Chains A and B, each alone.
Chain A
Amino acid sequence: MGKPQPPPELLPGTLYLLALRTLRDGPLHGYAIARRIRDASADTLQIEDGSLYPALNRMVVKGWLASEWGISDNNRKARFYRLTAQGRKQLERETKDFDTLISAIQLVMRTV
């Protein structure tokens, strides 16, 4: 109940990392974040768009993101998310952890 529910292909917690990463260069609304992730992964990451929003909300609660209402490109009211200083630090930390993890896994895969 209430736990993040990414599809099995996605490593736990990765959704946070992806969302944070897409927001590194500036504020985006939810749909744009989903879109970026899809485009950047060349459609290989099958994420239900809906699961993005609980993750975004959780990060707002944690203080990593801030959100405010703005006007989208297609001239509609949309909620924009941006990284806070705390979120930026979290992104650095998670990126490092992720890299460490991946290289460790790769090391194991190569040697065993």
Chain B
Amino acid sequence: MSFWTEWKQKLSFVRRASRFDQGLDDEILFHLETRAAELESQGFTRSGAVQQANREFGSRQRMREDSRAAWQFRWVQDLLSDLRYAFRALRRNPAFAATGVISLALGIGANTTIFSLTNEFLFSRPTVRSPETLAALRLGGNSHSPLSVFRFVRDSKAFDGVAGELEEAEVNWRDGDQSSRLHVMRVTGNFFDVIGVPVALGRGIQPGETRVVVISDGFWRNHLASNPSPLGRKLILDGAVYTIAGVLPRNTRTLVGFGFAPDLYVPVEGEDSIVAFYARLPDGMTRQMALERLGMVARDLDRAHPRADGGKWNSNLQVSAVSGFEWLEMMDIMPIAGFFAVLMIVVTLVLLVACANVASLLLARASSRSQELAIRLSIGASRSRIIRHLLAESLLLGLLGTSAGILLNLWLTTAFKHVQLPLPLPIQLQIQPDARLLVYSAALALVSALVSGFMPSLRASRADVNSVLKQSEHQVSGRRWGLRNVLVAGQLAVSILLLTTGLLFLRNLLKSTTMSPGFDVQQTALARMRLVPEKYTTRDRSDQVIRSALDDLRALPGVEAASVAQIVPLNDNLQFGQSIRTDTISEPRHNEFTGNNVSPQYFQTMGIRILRGREFADSDRAGNPSVVILNEAFARRLFGAVEPVGHWIQIGDGQRATVVGVAKNSKYFLLSEDEKSAIYWPTAQQEGLLTDLNFLIRARSRPDDLAKPVNVLLSKLDSSAAVEFKPMRDALGFALLPSRVAALLLGSMGFLGLALAAVGLYGVLVYAIARRTREIGLRVAFGATPSGILRLVFRESALLAGTGTTVGLCTALLVMRPLQSFLVPGLSAADPLSYALVLAVLGVVVFVASLAPAIRALRVDPLRAIHYE
């Protein structure tokens, strides 16, 4: 209570400090003059009275200071003076300060960047009205359900509103004489209202509206040139005219999260559309209660709209929050979350190394200053005062390091923002430093400062005054394995771990980029053509386009072969798990395999060799006998040693199809896959409508030159279709993305860790040499050769490096094993080359770090060293 009064009083003082001084002076003056007048009346002379009054009063200056001190926060004052002192100390020792600040800046900069990245990607909250009362619903285990079901759930009034959206949709936007593919989010009419999506300009989509569109800020800026009056403008999407009703604010995070940023929002149309459901929960309704209520709705739904496939809507019900762990689990991206977790561990290790660095630096510094500290102790400084003083130094170092780290983070995140990831989805992360990040970095600074400052200051302040003052520091060689040595050995161990991980992933990247995916990427190109579904309602019409496109493409000069495929390898995947019968086995067997529908000339275009049998021909069309081509792996799994060509296979209850060829194995979806089973069907025998066409083209020379003619040619066939041309090399970006990201992040972390550890090693060695100057001087005086002295230095560093390396290598071998699944086949997690490289790099680094201290040791002048005392 009285403590509180003091605080309030002192706080109020801050505002009237200058008036206080004036008042105090007035008071002193009044005192002195009154006293002098009194003395004068007692018979003193005027000057005598003034002198006497002053004498009685004592030191005016001290009185002023003491009175002021009564009003001030002592610790703030002390802290400021400590910091001022620390600042001067750091300025006097710029190498030390720079090393410490850079260590922490790199450690914290990396840490905060990864933190913002992880936070933004995994845990950002959508920019919608009170997301905490929103819940994602799933019925019958389906992520998306038909519109009829949506209407039933919406009209059940079980919640304060239910809205739906289909996120992974595309449209063709016709702009002048060009068509381009845009990512749209199709939403139900009540979506903007129920979800509460903010609109910067205009309004959201209203219930019952069709042919209106809400555009994203990015689309407005990039495609409409920030047109000041975009509202009411018309966009031709999939051949229909849409009116722009609104523009979203900048930096909106969609309900889907993960940086997903569609260009447009349009109303969902068509009875067979499906949507994901989101409910606005009434006040006080928990998700558990919502689940029960959803159960009741689903029961009614099963009665009103029984499912066509015989399943129950009232099964596998889910109600999830729209952000946080629950959401990650629902969206099934826990593996990616796992990768980020590994990343967080790695950067924490880097920060640990940085802290250890600063700690060993401070420790070395404290020891070299033990004389000064001992003197201060002996003339009456309290231990706590000395600890505080040393802590202030590390606190300052921590603050400077954090500020530098935050700057680094700002720079990195801005750089990240402009990186366009080669993904098939529009992902744009809105990474910005936020309050959480600031708290996080402030906590880091504090922890770093305390961790790296506390031990050294405790030790320094414990120094025995007598022995230190007697200079015995230079005589006692001290414990061989002091805290500092343990720190450096630990740093080396951690950096070995980081470096091996990084190097392994760099090798992985190198191997992935140079490894042949089993098909040609140098001479091939991809032309993606998206037909407007409304215009191609029968198969005949799209077949017509495909036929003319292939004919025209093959006739282009510079084109060697052309084909069309449903799946572009390493970009997309069609995965099956079904039982298969063949005429060589009696019982159907379950098989996991990937599949693709391809036209004739596919294998020629892709440069995949047909080992036996033939490629698809024009005669393999609907009406003729069903045929398939298998890859080697699948052929061996199904037929063993039997020649498969000519035999039939039957997938599930489907038609029997004759194997007409066996193709060489290649990569289908991931570079890390190995010996995957694959099957090819002829496009002409594929069922269903075709609107997304992938034309694969083999050029006689460079495929890049074909971009223009191919674009012109395909656009001429259908001007409403969106066409994209890419050399195959560029189209593989997605497949290489994981290796690239992993190599970039883990590789840079590894080298960062090593650099930090090298600095730490250097610091410790320099200190060790300084401590042994006298000993070395004596040795030289007694005839030690330079090589003997060098041995002395290098023995110390070899011992440290050896211990650290052994521990690091053992840990790395253990830790790397689970990472095997991330690596391309043929690269082992215990890759000897990587380990050898790490050891070589480490050897060089240790040598370089020891060089300067060694030279310093050689320069020790015996006379000076011995006379030093």
Q: Quick check: A31 and B35 within 8 Å, CB to CB?
A: yes
* Chain A contact residue count (CB 8 A cutoff): 28
Q: Quick check: B27 and A78 within 8 Å, CB to CB?
A: yes
Q: Quick check: B5 and A63 within 8 Å, CB to CB?
A: yes
What residues of chain B lie closer than 8 Å to A61, measured between beta carbons? Answer: 6, 9-10, 70-71
A49-B71 contact in complex given A60-B9, A61-B9, A79-B23, C-beta closer than 8 Å: no
Annotate B30-59 by CB proximity to A: 1 below 8 A, 0 otherwise. 110111010000000000000000001111
Q: Quick check: B57 and A54 within 8 Å, CB to CB?
A: no
Query: B23, B30, B60: which has the most chain A beta carbons within 10 Å?
Result: B30
| A110 interface residue (CB < 8 Å to B) | no
Of the candidate stretches B61-69, B297-305, B462-470, B521-529, the one touching chain A is B61-69
A53-B67 contact in complex given A29-B30, A30-B27, A74-B37, C-beta closer than 8 Å: yes
| A25 interface residue (CB < 8 Å to B) | no
Cα separation A79 to B22 with both chains bound (whole Å): 12
Annotate B639-659 by CB proximity to A: 1 below 8 A, 0 otherwise. 000000000000000000000
A-B contact pairs, 20 of them (CB 8 A): A5-B62, A30-B31, A31-B31, A49-B57, A50-B28, A50-B60, A50-B63, A51-B58, A51-B63, A54-B66, A54-B70, A58-B70, A61-B71, A69-B23, A72-B30, A76-B33, A76-B34, A78-B27, A78-B30, A86-B5
Known: A31-B30, A50-B28. 19 other contacts (CB 8 A): A2-B74, A5-B62, A29-B30, A30-B27, A30-B31, A48-B56, A48-B57, A50-B57, A50-B58, A53-B67, A57-B71, A61-B71, A74-B34, A74-B37, A76-B34, A78-B27, A78-B30, A79-B26, A86-B2
A99 to chain B, nearest CB (A): 23
Query: A30, A57, A86: which has the most chain B beta carbons within 10 Å?
Result: A57
A90 to chain B, nearest CB (A): 9
What residues of chain B lie closer than 8 Å to A53, measured between beta carbons? Answer: 24, 27-28, 63, 66-67
| A93 interface residue (CB < 8 Å to B) | no
Q: Quick check: B63 and A77 within 8 Å, CB to CB?
A: no
Interface residues on B, range: 20 to 34
Annotate A8-44 by CB proximity to B: 1 below 8 A, 0 otherwise. 0000000000000000000001110010000000000
Cα separation A76 to B36 with both chains bound (whole Å): 14
What residues of chain A lie closer than 8 Å to B31, measured between beta carbons? Answer: 30-31, 34, 49
What residues of chain B lie closer than 8 Å to A96, measured between beta carbons? Answer: none
Residues of A within 8 A of B (CB): 1-2, 4-5, 29-31, 34, 48-51, 53-54, 57-58, 60-63, 69, 72, 74, 76-79, 86
Contact of B66 among A2, A31, A62, A63 (CB under 8 A): A2
Residues of B within 8 A of A (CB): 2, 5-6, 9-10, 23-24, 26-28, 30-31, 33-35, 37, 56-60, 62-63, 65-67, 69-71, 74
What residues of chain A lie closer than 8 Å to B6, measured between beta carbons? Answer: 61-63
Cα separation A72 to B71 with both chains bound (whole Å): 25
What residues of chain B lie closer than 8 Å to A58, measured between beta carbons? Answer: 70
Q: Quick check: B2 and A62 within 8 Å, CB to CB?
A: yes
Report the nearest B residue to A69, measured CB to CB.
B23
What residues of chain A lie closer than 8 Å to B60, measured between beta carbons? Answer: 50
Cα separation A5 to B69 with both chains bound (whole Å): 13
Report the nearest A residue to B7, measured CB to CB.
A61
Report the nearest A residue to B61, measured CB to CB.
A50
Report the nearest B residue to A3, measured CB to CB.
B66
Cα separation A14 to B27 with both chains bound (whole Å): 23
Report the nearest A residue to B10, measured CB to CB.
A61
Cα separation A89 to B34 with both chains bound (whole Å): 31
Q: Quick check: B56 and A54 within 8 Å, CB to CB?
A: no
Q: Quick check: A57 and B70 within 8 Å, CB to CB?
A: yes
Report the nearest A residue to B3, measured CB to CB.
A62
- Closest 3 pairs (CB-CB, A-B): A48-B58, A54-B66, A50-B63
Cα separation A69 to B30 with both chains bound (whole Å): 12
Query: A60, A61, A63, A74: which has the most chain B beta carbons within 10 Å?
Result: A61
Report the nearest A residue to B23, measured CB to CB.
A79
Cα separation A45 to B866 with both chains bound (whole Å): 59
What residues of chain B lie closer than 8 Å to A29, measured between beta carbons? Answer: 30
Q: Quick check: B70 and A49 within 8 Å, CB to CB?
A: no
Q: Quick check: B26 and A77 within 8 Å, CB to CB?
A: yes
What residues of chain B lie closer than 8 Å to A60, measured between beta carbons? Answer: 9, 70
Cα separation A62 to B70 with both chains bound (whole Å): 9
Cα separation A22 to B37 with both chains bound (whole Å): 22
Q: Quick check: A49 and B58 within 8 Å, CB to CB?
A: yes
A2-B27 contact in complex given A51-B58, A53-B63, C-beta closer than 8 Å: no
What residues of chain A lie closer than 8 Å to B71, measured between beta carbons? Answer: 57, 61
